[in-house]
Amino acid sequence: MGENGAGKSTLGKILAGIHRPDEGRVEIKGVARHFRSPREAQRAGVAIVHQELSFCPNLSVAENVCLSDLPRRFGRVDWRRLEERAQSHLDAIGADCDVREELGRLSPGRMQMVQVAAALATGADIFVLDEPTSSLSASEARRLEELIGTLRKRGATIIYVSHRMDEIFRFCDTVTVMRDSQHVATMPLAQTNEGDLVRLMIGRTWQKLFPEHVERAPGPECLRVEELSSPGKFRSISFSLRAGEVVGMAGLVGAGRSEVALGIFGLDARMTGGVFVAGRKAAVRCPRDAMALGIGLVSEDRKKQGLVLGMECGSNITLSSLDRLSRHGVIRLAKERSVIADFFQKLQVKAASPQVSAQTLSGGNQQKLVLAKWLARQCRILILDEPTRGVDVGAKAEIHRLIDELAAAGLAVLMISSELPEVLNLSTRVIVMRNGRIAGRLDRAEATQERVMQLMAGQNVPSLQAIPENVLVA
């Protein structure tokens, strides 16, 4: 177990030979092994079922199951034997699916089953399951649970990576907690309880900061969303955002936080519900609409969605506000240069010059460019999705300070973050999401690491019992 980014998946990948460890060793049945490739790990009997389904969706189920060892005859694939073998592996785990079906057409749950069958097909007796239920529905998760039972009876060892409390307590015998890429504790589950685990996962004590904006009275309401829903992503999300506030949004990976952000920014065509800006209902169908309303989004993946990496740093800053820096469609280069120099100064962007391409900058400075892009646009509502991911400590402190300043200057900020201290320190209020729903709202005074973690992981706490469990799962 462990928080987001604790290093669970990385450890799993080392076990399966995908990543190579810098030091240390892996012992299997008392023998030290060094896997140089997933193939070697497979031969040693280690199989991994990945968090993100990693298969060839264009091939048939049978081919996927036996992908690592296709039966051959005279150098060509022996289809009959292939299908028989795949069928037998699928039968062994009680998965009923057509081996000739294309994998991409199956439901996520079925695909997961196929992955497990493929892991079985390698003849493994050690399985690493990395968050296997994160993409499954409730009934599919139950089938997976049965499957794990079957595997255990056959004498397999299962390493189950998860941050869901209930699963850990149902499936596992021993638990190892990781935090900040380090081993924290290993103990039999019988000797522990949920509260202890949460404390171990959080671990750190930290001093709560009191940023400037918290002391000012929030201004009028800037953004209100009502009953936002998007099939398969999130349901009934309602909250409001006032000028001068930082609202933190906490939750586990896959809780639907980023999806809500994208929805508000006009990037989810299937979203229903109302978005109100300054009290007026707004139709946001694309990012341009959102921008016209003064909304800016610093997205989670700055390399893919935030920056044009090959373009100059300066051009990245002014990319969204060129209409304001131009006359009759012609950029006023002198004005643009002064705006760029201004933001380089204000945000302390460290680059050789505004003309170097954005890809040469460090993560923290790249993030500053994205922030500067929206500040140059003079947006009033800023949605920050993991604003300090992949940013070094110094730049992180600078970005935190900046967020505080912006709120103090009257911007409404919605900050999605997986880092609890960040959320707790900077937020005026905290919204916790779980399984695509709002699991709880906490004021700054109420928000402690334990409370937020409990809400995130879905441990039953008094405030949560008001919502029926079946609704939460759906």
Partner 1 sequence: MKTDQPALLNAESSQGLSTVTAARHPRFKETGLLGVVLALGLLLSLFCGTLEVPNRDTGGIVTVNKFLRADNLGNLAKNTSFFAIMAVGATFVIITGGIDLSVGSMYCLAAVCGAMFLNHFGPRGPGAGASPFWVVPGAIAICLGTGTLCGLLNGLGVVFLRVHPFVITLGTMAIYRGVAFVMTKAQAYTHFPAQFTDGLIRYEINWQGANLYPVPLAIMLGVTALAGWYLKHAVTGRHIFAVGGNEQASLFSGLPVNRVKVKVYAFSGLAAGVAAMIMLGYYGSASSDAGKGYELDVIAAAVVGGASLVGGRGTALGALLGALIIQMINNGIIILNIDQNYSQIIIGAVIVLAVLLDRINDTLREKRMARSALAAKESRQEGASQIEQSRPTP
Task: Write out the residues near partner 1 by the rule CB under 8 A.
Answer: 209-212, 265, 267, 286-288, 290-291, 297, 299, 304-311, 315, 319-320, 322-323, 326, 329-331, 333, 341, 344-357, 360-362, 373, 375, 378, 394, 397, 401-402, 404-405, 408-410
Helices then strands, each counted (H, E), the chain: 18, 21
* Calpha distance 186→318 (Å, rounded): 51
Comparison of 329 and 462: residue with beta carbon closer to partner 1: 329
Rg of the chain over all Cα atoms, to the nearest angstrom: 25
Comparison of 290 and 455: residue with beta carbon closer to partner 1: 290
DSSP letter, residue 86: H
* Calpha distance 388→193 (Å, rounded): 32
* Calpha distance 7→414 (Å, rounded): 27
Closest distance of CB 305 from partner 1, Å: 5
Query: Is 216:42 a contact under the CB 8 Å cutoff?
Result: no
The token pair that represents 356 in the structure block: 């170097």
Which three-class secondary structure state does DSSP give residue 100? Answer: coil
Q: Which stretches of 81-181 are assigned E, i.e. beta strand?
A: 126-130, 157-161, 174-179
Comparison of 142 and 346: residue with beta carbon closer to partner 1: 346
Closest distance of CB 185 from partner 1, Å: 31
Closest distance of CB 293 from partner 1, Å: 11
Closest distance of CB 336 from partner 1, Å: 9
Comparison of 109 and 211: residue with beta carbon closer to partner 1: 211
Comparison of 152 and 346: residue with beta carbon closer to partner 1: 346
Q: Which of 395, 447, 409 has its CA nearest to residue 426?
A: 447
Query: Using CB atoms within 10 A of its CB, is residue 84 exposed (0-12), middle (13-18) or buried (19+)?
Result: middle
Comparison of 1 and 347: residue with beta carbon closer to partner 1: 347
The secondary element (H helix, E strand) that includes residue 470 is helix 469-473
The secondary element (H helix, E strand) that includes residue 46 is strand 46-49
Closest distance of CB 271 from partner 1, Å: 16
Comparison of 41 and 290: residue with beta carbon closer to partner 1: 290
Closest distance of CB 284 from partner 1, Å: 11
Comparison of 333 and 471: residue with beta carbon closer to partner 1: 333
Closest distance of CB 394 from partner 1, Å: 5
Comparison of 116 and 295: residue with beta carbon closer to partner 1: 295
Q: Cβ of 378: how many Cβ atoms within 10 Å?
A: 11
Closest distance of CB 420 from partner 1, Å: 19
Q: Which of 91, 227, 216 has its CA nearest to residue 150?
A: 91
Q: Which stretches of 258-406 are assigned E, i.e. beta strand?
A: 272-277, 280-282, 295-298, 326-327, 330-331, 381-385
Query: Is 146:94 a contact under the CB 8 Å cutoff?
Result: yes
Closest distance of CB 448 from partner 1, Å: 21
Closest distance of CB 255 from partner 1, Å: 21
- Sheet with 234-242, side-by-side order of all strands: 234-242, 221-230, 272-277, 280-282
The token pair that represents 183 in the structure block: 């081993």
Comparison of 97 and 262: residue with beta carbon closer to partner 1: 262
Q: Cβ of 22: how many Cβ atoms within 10 Å?
A: 6
